[in-house]
Amino acid sequence: MKLVRYGAKGAEKPGLMDGDTLRDLSAHVDDINGDMLGDAKLAELAKIDPATLPAVEGSPRIGACVGNFGKFLCIGLNYSDHAAETGAAIPEHPILFFKANSAIVGPNDDVVMPRGSAHTDWEVELGVVIGKEAKYVSKDNALDHVAGYCIVNDVSERHFQTQLTGQWTKGKSCDTFGPTGPYLVTRDEVPDPQNLAMSLDVNGKRMQTGNTATMIFSVAEIIEHLSQLFTLHPGDIITTGTPPGVGMGIKPTPVYLKKGDVMTLEIEGLGRQTQKVDQDG
């Protein structure tokens, strides 16, 4: 299934995609969130004939594909080819940082650069949404704890990230810096999360081309590692790193986003995002 949240920000309704038709799920669930992401509830929803659900009229705003989420966990330098472009060593363990939940927006909402920003960058990433509590799990059964997958744009202000003394979180957590969705694609539709083509364009020019096959740590290995440190709860989002082609890696002169730019992101089977870039005064 491709689960969707649609409507005005803060008032999104649950839906699912029936081919190209968005259908309303409000009669069956209150929202797409951790409370309904377990296997039993997803199996119950999968039994519904989509044709019996009301079609949603018009073209409503699409919200982040998970509501009332818990943790927003991010893995850095997790693609061997991206580590090479930044000159970074291959990490021995997954690099973890947190992104403020207030950064999460819909997949097609504007990305608003913070006041004074001149180093805002793009990162297409595979997002993983936890559906079942995970504590001390092994990589052999880690994927059983996944509800589904989505696209995340891990927008990053590089000056804030690297120069404002402290953790990467400073450059990752600005408002609107976490477009998520459009769909939460349930794991049964993604048999191999380690073989998904991914891309990102800026103003129609291809900047990132990659495949989750080049991850240093697989989705299962990431879940295993994190679950040794703390409990992963239903609705938690893990974004798993980006392939090469980010602006800061362009030689000889890095390229960063500016007001009016348009980013388009795609991951095989997970849909497409498009964001226009604006800037706070």
Tens of pLDDT, residue by residue over 43-89, are 999 999 999 999 999 999 999 999 998 999 999 989 987 777 777 78
Confidence of residue 165 (pLDDT cuts 50, 70, 90): confident
Map residue 207 onto helix, strand or coil.
Answer: strand
Place of tokens 């949240």: 5
Tens of pLDDT, residue by residue over 104-125, are 999 999 999 999 899 999 999 9
Which amino acid is residue 168, in one-letter code? W
Mean pLDDT to the nearest integer, 243-260: 95
70 contact partners, CB below 8 Å, separation of at least 6: 34, 233, 234, 235, 236
CATH architecture assignment, domain 64-279: Alpha-Beta Complex (3.90)
Distance CA(171)–CA(6), nearest Å, equals 28
Mean pLDDT to the nearest integer, 34-46: 96
Confidence of residue 95 (pLDDT cuts 50, 70, 90): very high
Tens of pLDDT, residue by residue over 187-214, are 999 999 999 999 999 999 999 999 999 9
Map residue 147 onto helix, strand or coil.
Answer: strand
- Predicted confidence at residue 160, as pLDDT, reads 86
Q: Give the pair of three-digit tokens for residue 277.
A: 């870039």
Tens of pLDDT, residue by residue over 232-249, are 999 999 999 999 999 999
pLDDT of 163 higher than 90: no
The predicted model scores a pTM of 0.96
